[in-house]
Amino acid sequence: MIPLRQSAQPHFLHQGCIYGSDAEFLAMAVPFVLDGLHREEPVLVATTPANLELLRDEIGPDAAGAEYAEPERLGLRPPQRATAIHRYWTRHQPDEPARAVRILAEPEWTGRSGREVSAWQRMEAALNVVLADTRIWMICPYDTRTVSPGIVEDARRTHPECVVGPRVERSAQFVRPEDFPRSQAEPLPGPAEELFRFEGDMTTVRRYVLRSAAKLLKSDEDAQGMFGIAVGEAIAYLMAQGIEHAAVWVRPAAGRLVCTLHSDQPLGHVPAFVGYRQPGQEQEPGDGLWLTNQICEWLDVGSDASGCTIELAVPAGA
């Protein structure tokens, strides 16, 4: 076991907390919140309504010094959550290097599809990279009463440390953030119905996609606009990587409008967490697609010797 925290925190501190009772949750959350308030550090707690009530009742009047919110406050999709956390840091970062910004953030896993679960797990790994230059101290609780064993196991792989009550254990299962999404990778889907296929240079591909969206979404102008923005940035991303021609499939699927772009030209490099770095955070050309990632329910980017593929989906009529 190692102490909960050293006297100074020069970088992002990302910890998981696997708990199975109200008492175990409070054993982690109460000292985390009270110590932060004692140090006059910003404290944000985004967890379930039941846990918020537990924490307020346990801490009492001192609880007023922290911010409390249900998980939706930090966004409904993984890229939105990563952006919200970084923006919270930007607004509240202390001037003193020994002080941190504390965030207790518990994702909602109930009712999510396998694809949605994978996206949230990749986000947990991505935070280790995209928040590395912050002094955020973040604890992500996982309730074994409601969360599946597989999700709990992956929490140990995406968090360098796990909190047990008021102390910390290094996670022996932790893997390099860049390796985690590769361990989850699945083949991108093949061509969709020929009815929606089009091939050409990137400018004509974009025109085709917008025309298809107008037909498939008809009266939903907001969805058309968001789809056009998402696809437009994806095409700009491919062009910036030297891709000149692509085939595209546009199709409705389960309440979403899905676009698959494929080129026989491979991309030079695809970062493990493409689309997670905000404008101004980019470290290399391949860090783009932030806006597309914010809009889409999912965004998958792949490349190998046979070519590259981007697939994205936006809500249709949501």
Question: What does pLDDT average to in each consecutive run of 10 residues of the chain (318 residues)?
Answer: 50 94 95 93 95 92 85 86 93 89 92 87 93 95 95 95 87 92 61 59 85 80 83 90 88 84 88 80 68 88 90 77
How many whole angstroms separate alpha carbon 132 and alpha carbon 136?
A: 9
Contact 160/145 with Cβ under 8 angstroms? Answer: no
Q: Please tell me the distance from the alpha carbon of residue 129 to that of residue 51, in angstroms, as a whole number.
A: 28
pLDDT at 75: 85
pLDDT score at 145: 95
Q: Specify whether the backbone of 60 is left (phi greater than 0), alpha (psi in -120 to 50) or beta.
A: left
| Residue whose C-alpha is closest to residue 314's, from 262, 263, 252 | 252
Q: Show me where the domains of the chain are located.
A: 13-183, 194-315
Helix (H) or strand (E) holding 300: strand 298-304
Cα 300-305-306 angle, rounded to 5 deg: 75
pTM for the full predicted model: 0.83
Domain 13-183: give its CATH architecture: 3-Layer(aba) Sandwich (3.40)
Residue found under tokens 């009492």? 60
Give CA separation, 20 vs 56, 141, 154, 262, in Å: 19, 10, 16, 45
At the second CATH level, the architecture of 194-315 is: 2-Layer Sandwich (3.30)
